């Protein structure tokens, strides 16, 4: 292909001019020169590079800057960073160069953006630990998130040029992480576009189907909206309102989800659109005018009493303000009506972007955003040993809708739906949570586990003697409360163990045994306890008596047992012995109390026959009975084996691997991931595919609850066209 470089140069300048036009309103003296400089540096740095589409690479940073200016409303620093966002990662330009040319702030933001790229864009799947890193980086400066969102939006808009597997990866991450982030920041327009594009690439058929149906039904819908609106227009006009009124279609993504989750037909969805009334009114009349409009509309159409949402008196924590109602329209159809002012509409569509325009409320919005970021940071900085659980908690908090409750003094607290009185207590203060003994909701006494509703007034009752209990973990859903309770339980245990140590020392002393590390460890092994801390803990509870110590001493003084022979009969004997012992380890029963690990050599999951093996440094390790290492362990170290079984209702997840072999059919990966995501209680951790010629090989690591689920999933995967063989694999890749 012949490339006309001169024409390209002109086009680059053209796009640059459009960018300047988009930020013009906010440019102050000297700003234009700085942006020009960033533009020139970026052009020079990327000059040899092209995008997958063949276009000059510089089109991308300019487009990202354009989104930042137009759709997010970032200022000069943001625009400069957007133009430079890929330079440090992809070109010879260094962070120091950027710092020298544009100063500290710009280089900080570029550094954040580069770090995110390293963890997300260059690894095969987002893993728990990476996810945490990304969010920590993002929350350093809000602009890092905003520019990353713009970057992702442009990449999604141009995703057609990527290979299929890349498309899948990028689109899934978009749905998993970026769309919820945009939602939380109140960037509604961007969120909707990200979701629709995400769906387009993860479920192309589903997307096309909904899009086609929407097109088909458009004329009818337009007529209906016209009929609905017309009489209202007249009355609102007579009353002297300045307003616009229109029907607004719901996004393809949200319609698709409704079809899937509610199991209804497209024709049965009544809220394919909402009617929006945007009034132009001075700030001091906003609220009363919105209610006046509400009154006019409900005089004309009958409202459904339980579908009134007043987000004007109490805006959502992402800043959303609007008055929603659902009324009975012509032809007996329910219609959602959204009433808001021009300012509210602007904020709802563009979130952060609209701040600079509405100075009066900017401080308030800013502080909301700050408190949201603070909450993220709190969650991230509390290191939780189980990173996966962290993601679940975090995503729950990110996705969920909110409720708000009030303290007796009238302070409002926002919490995710499903939060309990105990969550509320921790939301007020860690100390309040830890000493919480109950609560009064709307003046009535309720238990800690009481689930709050929006508008509840909550008074927390505390006692200095109260401390967090194990079962509290079942009562809370916020990440904050969970991690605080866990920390406190750990501390309690440590303290009790310290007392137990002294108790045990006195007991040893009584029968004249030296209280040495060696002896303590020996005694631990004798009792099959995972750690000395566990031993001390039991001693403190009075579960260790002198008789046991004496028995151990007697055994210690006997000559060591002869080494068992490695014949099969003997091994079988040992297995039976080990499993006949009364000390039964129940896996999944209270993670806090047991120090055990699932061995990575065989990745056991519930349903597998397993045993526990006491290791010196790592507590008890759980192996499958048919683990390749089992024979060695069982034959040489039978005394260290503990019988183990799975708790029945263990709602914990276990990592398992499966390998899929087949022929490279069109849509194969898509179909496989669809099967997996349709399976209940199964979560994908990573997915790796390789194709060679016609052959296809994939490794998928998933979290499942037990073998039943895994086998069910494997059966379903076998039915996918093109799959020829599936096997369970042991080693992590
Ligand atoms: Mn980029």
pLDDT in tens, 492-506: 888 888 889 998 998
Q: What pLDDT is recorded for position 340?
A: 95
- What is the whole-number distance in angstroms between the Cα of residue 388 and the centre of ligand 1? 28
- Better-predicted residue by pLDDT, 666 or 395: 666
Q: What pLDDT is recorded for position 129?
A: 57
- What is the whole-number distance in angstroms between the Cα of residue 688 and the centre of ligand 1? 24
- Better-predicted residue by pLDDT, 287 or 727: 287
pLDDT tier, 392 (very low <50, low <70, confident <90, very high otherwise): low
**CA 303 – CA 318 distance, rounded (Å):** 27
What are the catalytic residues?
Answer: 89-90
pTM of the predicted model, to two decimals? Answer: 0.56
| Range 188-201 average pLDDT | 93
**CA 440 – CA 458 distance, rounded (Å):** 6
- What is the whole-number distance in angstroms between the Cα of residue 115 and the centre of ligand 1? 12
pLDDT tier, 120 (very low <50, low <70, confident <90, very high otherwise): low
Pairing of strands 334-341, 273-279: parallel
Residue 581 reports pLDDT greater than 50: no
Residue 339, strand partner residues:
277, 323
Please tell me the chain's helix, strand, coil percentages from 3-state DSSP, rounded to the nearest 5.
55, 15, 30
Q: What pLDDT is recorded for position 106?
A: 92
Q: What pLDDT is recorded for position 362?
A: 46
- What is the whole-number distance in angstroms between the Cα of residue 427 and the centre of ligand 1? 37
- Better-predicted residue by pLDDT, 468 or 630: 468
Contact 663, 694 (CB under 8 A): yes
Contact 62, 19 (CB under 8 A): yes
Read off the tokens for 413: 């607290």
Residue 94 reports pLDDT greater than 60: yes
Residue 359 reports pLDDT greater than 50: no
Contact 529, 538 (CB under 8 A): yes
**DSSP code, position 531:** -
What is the enclosing helix (H) or strand (E) of 655?
strand 654-663
Condensed to tens digits (0 to 9), the pLDDT of residues 27-82 reads 788 888 999 999 999 999 998 888 988 899 999 999 999 999 888 878 888 899 99
Contact 271, 294 (CB under 8 A): no
Report helix, strand or coil for 208: helix
**CA 490 – CA 482 distance, rounded (Å):** 12
- What is the whole-number distance in angstroms between the Cα of residue 154 and the centre of ligand 1? 8
- What is the whole-number distance in angstroms between the Cα of residue 89 and the centre of ligand 1? 9
Q: What is the residue-wise DSSP string for 39-87?
A: HHHHHHHTTT-B-TTSSBTTHHHHHHHHHIIIII---HHHHHHHHHTTH
Q: Which domains does the chain have, with CATH numbers?
A: 5-202 (1.10.3210.10), 205-357 (3.30.460.10), 487-557 (no CATH), 568-646 (no CATH), 654-729 (3.30.70.260)
- What is the whole-number distance in angstroms between the Cα of residue 256 and the centre of ligand 1? 29
Q: What pLDDT is recorded for position 579?
A: 46
- What is the whole-number distance in angstroms between the Cα of residue 24 and the centre of ligand 1? 23
- What is the whole-number distance in angstroms between the Cα of residue 194 and the centre of ligand 1? 16
Residue 182 reports pLDDT greater than 60: yes
Condensed to tens digits (0 to 9), the pLDDT of residues 529-541 reads 878 888 898 888 8
- What is the whole-number distance in angstroms between the Cα of residue 127 and the centre of ligand 1? 21
Residue 123 reports pLDDT greater than 60: no
- What is the whole-number distance in angstroms between the Cα of residue 169 and the centre of ligand 1? 16
- Better-predicted residue by pLDDT, 215 or 648: 215
| Range 570-588 average pLDDT | 52
- What is the whole-number distance in angstroms between the Cα of residue 193 and the centre of ligand 1? 18
Annotate 495-508 with b (16+ C-beta within 10 A) or e (fewer): ebbeebbebbeebb
Contact 47, 7 (CB under 8 A): no
Contact 378, 217 (CB under 8 A): no
Q: What is the residue-wise DSSP string for 662-676?
A: EE--TTHHHHHHHHH
Residue 586, strand partner residues:
645
- What is the whole-number distance in angstroms between the Cα of residue 96 and the centre of ligand 1? 20
Phi/psi region, residue 412 (left: phi>0; alpha: psi -120 to 50; beta: rest), is beta
Residue 698 reports pLDDT greater than 80: yes
Annotate 295-318 with b (16+ C-beta within 10 A) or e (fewer): ebbeeebebeeeeeebbbeebbbb
**CA 480 – CA 420 distance, rounded (Å):** 13
Among 214-228, 260-274, 284-298, 457-471, which is the least confidently predicted range? 260-274
- What is the whole-number distance in angstroms between the Cα of residue 677 and the centre of ligand 1? 29
Q: How far is CA 457 from CA 187, 239, 445, 448, 453, in A?
A: 31, 38, 12, 14, 9
Q: What pLDDT is recorded for position 385?
A: 45
- What is the whole-number distance in angstroms between the Cα of residue 250 and the centre of ligand 1? 29
Percent residues over pLDDT 90 in the chain = 28
- What is the whole-number distance in angstroms between the Cα of residue 109 and the centre of ligand 1? 14
Q: What pLDDT is recorded for position 602?
A: 77
Residue 356 reports pLDDT greater than 50: no
Residue 196 reports pLDDT greater than 90: yes
Q: What pLDDT is recorded for position 251?
A: 92
| Range 596-613 average pLDDT | 78
User: Of how many residues is the chain composed?
Assistant: 733
**CA 351 – CA 183 distance, rounded (Å):** 9
- What is the whole-number distance in angstroms between the Cα of residue 481 and the centre of ligand 1? 37
- What is the whole-number distance in angstroms between the Cα of residue 156 and the centre of ligand 1? 11
Condensed to tens digits (0 to 9), the pLDDT of residues 287-346 reads 999 999 999 999 999 998 778 888 898 877 667 889 999 998 888 888 999 999 998 888
Pairing of strands 309-310, 323-328: antiparallel
Q: What pLDDT is recorded for position 733?
A: 37
Sign of the CA dihedral with 551 first, then 556, 558, and 561 last: positive
pLDDT tier, 515 (very low <50, low <70, confident <90, very high otherwise): confident
Read off the tokens for 351: 């979130």
Reference 333, options 306, 302, 310; nearest CA is 302
Q: What pLDDT is recorded for position 269?
A: 80
Mean pLDDT for all residues in the chain:
81
Contact 334, 326 (CB under 8 A): yes
Residue 451, strand partner residues:
420
Residue 1 reports pLDDT greater than 70: no
pLDDT tier, 648 (very low <50, low <70, confident <90, very high otherwise): low
């Amino acid at each position: 292909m012949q490339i006309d470089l001169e024409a390209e140069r002109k086009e680059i300048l053209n796009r640059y001019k459009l960018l300047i036009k988009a930020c013009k309103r906010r440019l102050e003296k000297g700003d234009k020169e700085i942006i020009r400089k960033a533009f020139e540096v970026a052009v020079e740095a990327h000059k040899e590079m092209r995008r997958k589409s063949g276009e000059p690479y510089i089109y991308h940073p300019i487009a990202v800057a354009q989104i930042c200016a137009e759709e997010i409303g970032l200022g000069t620093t943001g625009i400069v960073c957007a133009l430079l966002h890929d330079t440090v990662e992809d070109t010879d330009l260094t962070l120091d160069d950027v710092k020298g040319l544009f100063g500290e702030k710009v280089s900080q933001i570029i550094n954040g953006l580069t770090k995110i790229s390293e963890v997300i864009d260059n690894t095969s799947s987002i893993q728990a630990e990476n996810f945490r890193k990304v969010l920590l980086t993002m929350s350093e400066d809000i602009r890092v998130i905003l520019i990353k969102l713009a970057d992702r939006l442009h990449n999604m808009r141009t995703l057609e040029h990527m290979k299929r597997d890349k498309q899948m990866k990028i689109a899934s991450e978009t749905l998993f992480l970026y769309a919820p982030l945009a939602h939380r920041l109140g960037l509604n327009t961007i969120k909707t576009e990200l979701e629709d594009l995400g769906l387009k690439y993860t479920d192309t058929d589903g997307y096309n189907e909904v899009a086609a149906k929407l097109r088909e039904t458009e004329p009818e819908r337009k007529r209906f909206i016209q009929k609905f609106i017309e009489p209202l227009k007249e009355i609102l006009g007579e009353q002297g309102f300045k307003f616009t009124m229109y029907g607004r279609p719901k996004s393809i993504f949200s319609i698709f989800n409704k079809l899937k989750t509610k199991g209804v037909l497209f024709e049965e969805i009544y809220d394919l659109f909402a009617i929006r009334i945007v009034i132009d009114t001075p700030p001091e009349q906003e609220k009363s005018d919105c209610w006046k409009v509400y009154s006019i509309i409900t005089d004309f159409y009958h409202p459904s009493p339980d579908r009134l949402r007043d987000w004007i008196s109490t805006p959502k924590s992402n800043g959303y303000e609007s008055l929603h109602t659902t009324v009975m329209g012509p032809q007996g159809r329910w219609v959602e009506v959204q009433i808001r002012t021009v300012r509210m509409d602007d904020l709802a569509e563009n979130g952060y972007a609209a701040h600079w325009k509405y100075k009066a409320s900017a401080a308030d919005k800013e502080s909301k955003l700050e408190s949201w970021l603070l909450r993220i940071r709190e969650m991230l900085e509390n290191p939780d040993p189980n990173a996966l659980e962290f993601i679940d908690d975090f995503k729950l908090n990110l996705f969920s809708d909110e409720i708000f409750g009030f303290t007796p003094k009238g302070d409002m607290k926002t919490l995710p739906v499903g939060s309990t009185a105990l969550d509320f207590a921790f939301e007020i203060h860690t100390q309040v949570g830890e000493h919480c003994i109950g609560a009064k909701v709307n003046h009535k006494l309720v238990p800690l586990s009481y689930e709050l509703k929006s508008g509840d007034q909550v008074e927390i009752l505390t006692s200095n003697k109260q401390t967090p209990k194990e079962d509290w973990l079942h009562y809370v859903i916020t990440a904050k409360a969970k991690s605080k309770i866990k920390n406190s339980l750990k501390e309690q245990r440590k303290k009790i163990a310290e007392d137990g140590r002294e108790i045990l020392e006195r007991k040893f002393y009584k029968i004249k045994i030296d209280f040495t590390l060696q002896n303590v460890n020996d005694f631990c092994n004798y009792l099959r306890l995972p750690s000395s801390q566990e031993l001390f803990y039991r001693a403190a509870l009075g579960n260790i008596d002198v008789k046991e110590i004496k028995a151990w001493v007697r055994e210690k003084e006997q000559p060591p047992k002869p080494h068992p022979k490695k014949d099969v009969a003997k091994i079988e004997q040992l297995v039976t012995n080990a499993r006949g012992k009364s000390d039964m380890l129940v896996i999944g029963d209270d993670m806090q109390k047991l120090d055990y690990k699932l061995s990575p050599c065989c990745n056991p999951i519930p349903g597998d026959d397993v045993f526990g093996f006491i290791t010196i440094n790592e507590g008890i390790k759980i192996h499958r009975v048919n683990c390749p290492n089992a024979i060695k362990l069982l034959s040489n170290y039978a005394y260290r084996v503990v019988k183990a079984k799975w708790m029945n209702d263990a709602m914990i997840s276990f990592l398992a691997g499966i390998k899929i072999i087949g022929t490279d059919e069109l849509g194969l990966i898509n179909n496989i991931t669809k099967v997996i995501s349709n399976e209940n209680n199964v979560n994908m951790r990573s997915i790796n595919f390789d194709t060679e010629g016609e052959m296809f090989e994939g490794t998928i690591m998933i979290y499942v609850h037990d073998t039943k689920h895994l086998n069910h999933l494997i059966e379903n995967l076998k039915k996918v066209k093109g799959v020829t063989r599936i096997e369970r694999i042991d080693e992590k890749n």
